[in-house]
Amino acid sequence: MHPAYSVIAFTVASGAGYGLLGCLAALALLGRLPAAPGFAWTALGLAFVLATAGLLSSTLHLGHPERAWRAFSQWRSSWLSREGVAALAGYVPAGLFALGWLFLSEPEGGFAVLHPAFIGAAAVALALCLVTVFCTAMIYASLKPIQRWHNGWVAPAYLMFAAMSGVLWLTALMIGFGVGQRAVLWLAAALIALAGAVKLGYWRFIDRTASASTAASATGLGHLGAVRLLDPPHTEENYLLREMGYRLARKHAAKLRRLAFLMGFALPLVLTLVAAAVVQPWAAIAAGAAAFLATAGLVIERWLFFAEAKHAVTLYYGADRA
């Protein structure tokens, strides 16, 4: 599949934004929200900016972005519509949670004490963050013609990457503002390791399996013998070939996988462990670098996620297997 940069920006930015917002909501439920105003404004601002910018960037891939609002009406059958509904609905409890934390909370022992109503809003916001990211994953995992998306690895990967990037940005901000505890660094390290394991499992799966669809099954002519392409359906490249017939050399894919794993998981894990072992300002620098590198690595990972996907329609253009 053709890797559209708007969709890559959407999935990476919104995942990080919802991951960070979900982490803040979880801290509210645990009673561990820092009372520092500077941290509160920065963390909430970054979460809302990332989530909103990601959602808006997704409309850039549409032929008519001005008609995006119509997608909300198809929530009964469309994961894209469900994602939009969940994302839009999430702004209400997230906004209430932010209002309660920023203006109506009381500091106690370095933590912000919220009214139970705002804690309830945080719980709803956390749930809708998870639902929104899950719906984003299912947009791709529900597409049966694309075997590399239609499998059990995609949804866990999206959820893990959102949690990992969100916790890394949370860690960077907490250490930077001096309100973080070492426990959050160990949590970040554990999530990086789990997310990396999920990504390795996904790559192993797509390398060892293939779609059941072949030229014979797609045309229904397999009972007559071997099926091969006599003439191409078109004399020049068309929309289907541009969008669904993207080709990536195996050696280039291997190099990009190594780079994505190094930047997205290996180096952030090392830097997070370094941040846990050193003092300020080196801890803040290491935590910030880990969050930045992980985000950049996820951009490469997401580009590969699209570029390595093969649509079954390519069977009609000479591919042996989708």
Measured in residues, the chain has a length of: 322
The per-residue pLDDT for range 68-103, each reduced to its tens digit, is 677 777 778 889 889 989 999 999 999 999 999 999
* Alpha-carbon gap, residue 12 to 88, rounded angstroms: 18
* Alpha-carbon gap, residue 309 to 24, rounded angstroms: 34
Check: pTM over 0.85? Answer yes or no: yes
pLDDT-wise least confident of 57-66, 113-122, 286-295: 57-66
The per-residue pLDDT for range 190-243, each reduced to its tens digit, is 999 999 999 999 999 988 887 666 666 666 666 676 767 666 676 666 666 666
What are phi and psi for residue 160, nearest 5 degrees?
Answer: -65, -40
* Alpha-carbon gap, residue 32 to 36, rounded angstroms: 12
* Alpha-carbon gap, residue 16 to 11, rounded angstroms: 8
233-254 b/e (C-beta count within 10 Å ≥ 16 → b): eeeeeeeebeebbbebeeeeee
The per-residue pLDDT for range 155-181, each reduced to its tens digit, is 999 999 999 999 999 999 999 999 977
pLDDT of residue 205: 93
Instruction: Estimate to the nearest angstrom the gap between the alpha carbon of 95 and the chain centroid.
Output: 22
pLDDT of residue 70: 73
Instruction: Give the pLDDT band of residue 322 (cuts 50, 70, 90).
Output: low
